[in-house]
Chains A and B, each alone.
Chain A
Amino acid sequence: MTKGDFKKLFDEHFEQVRSYLFFRSGDTELATDIAQETFLKIWEKQHFIDETRVKGLLFKIANDLFASYYRKEKRSFEFFKHYKPEEKSSTPEEALVFTQMKENYNQALERMPEKQRTVFLMSRVDQLTYNEIAEMVGVSVKAVEKRMKLALNFLRTSLRVNE
Chain B
Amino acid sequence: MNDKKLHNDPLAGFEKDLFGKGKIKWEKSKADVWDELQRKIDDKPAYVIPKHQNWIQWAAAAVALIILGVGGVFSYYQTTIECQPGEHRVAELPDGSTVEMNAASKLVYYPLKWSLQRKLKFEGEGFFNVEKGSPFTVHSVNGTTRVLGTSFNIYARNENYRVTCLTGKVQVTAPNDEKVILLPQNHVELEEGKLVVTKMFKTEKAISWKQNYFFFAGRPLKEVIDEIERQYAVTIKLDPQLNNRNFGSNFSKQYSIEDVLDFVCKPMNLKFEKQANNVYIVTDES
Chain A interface residues (CB < 8 Å from chain B): 1, 3, 6-7, 10, 14-15, 18-19, 22, 28-29, 32, 35-36, 39-40, 43-44, 46-47, 82-86, 88, 98, 101-102, 105, 121, 124-125, 127, 148-149, 152-153, 155-156, 159
Contact = CB atoms under 8 A, between A and B. Distances in A.
Task: Name the interface size band of chain B.
Answer: 20 to 34
Contact of B22 (A44, A47, A86, A152): A86
Contacts of A124: 15, 19-20
Contacts of B9: 156
Contact of A85 (B3, B11, B18, B30): B18
A83 B24 contact: yes
23 contacts: A10-B34, A19-B24, A32-B28, A32-B33, A36-B37, A40-B40, A40-B41, A44-B46, A47-B46, A47-B47, A47-B53, A82-B24, A84-B25, A85-B19, A98-B17, A105-B18, A121-B19, A125-B24, A149-B3, A153-B1, A153-B6, A155-B11, A156-B11
Interface string B7-32: 00101001101111111111110100
A35 B33 contact: yes
B33 A125 contact: no
Central interface residue in B11, B15, B24, B47, by most chain A CB within 10 Å: B24
B18 A102 contact: yes
Contacts of A127: 20
A84 B6 CA distance: 24
Given A28-B27, A44-B44, 14 more contacts: A3-B41, A18-B26, A18-B33, A28-B25, A32-B26, A40-B40, A40-B44, A83-B22, A85-B21, A86-B17, A101-B18, A124-B15, A155-B11, A156-B9
Main secondary structure of the interface of A (DSSP, over half): helix
B24 to A, nearest CB: 5
Contacts of A105: 14, 18
A9 to B, nearest CB: 11
Contacts of B30: 14-15
Q: Which 7 A-B pairs have the closest CB atoms?
A: A85-B22, A124-B19, A86-B21, A152-B6, A85-B18, A125-B19, A101-B14
Interface of B: 1, 3, 6, 9, 11, 14-15, 17-28, 30, 33-34, 36-37, 40-41, 44, 46-47, 49, 53
Contacts of B40: 40
Contacts of A82: 24-25
B6 A83 contact: no
A76 B23 CA distance: 20
A32 B27 contact: yes
Contacts of A159: 11
Contact of B26 (A28, A40, A102): A28
Contacts of B1: 153, 156
Contacts of B21: 85-86
Nearest to B18: A85
B46 A43 contact: yes
A34 to B, nearest CB: 11
Given A35-B33, A101-B14, A149-B3, A125 B47 contact: no
A42 to B, nearest CB: 10
Contact of A29 (B22, B27, B44, B46): B27
A30 to B, nearest CB: 11
A14 to B, nearest CB: 6
Contacts of A98: 14, 17
B224 to A, nearest CB: 76
Contact of A22 (B17, B24, B33, B34): B24
A85 B36 CA distance: 28
Contacts of A102: 18
A88 B28 contact: no
A102 B9 CA distance: 17
Contacts of B17: 85-86, 88, 98
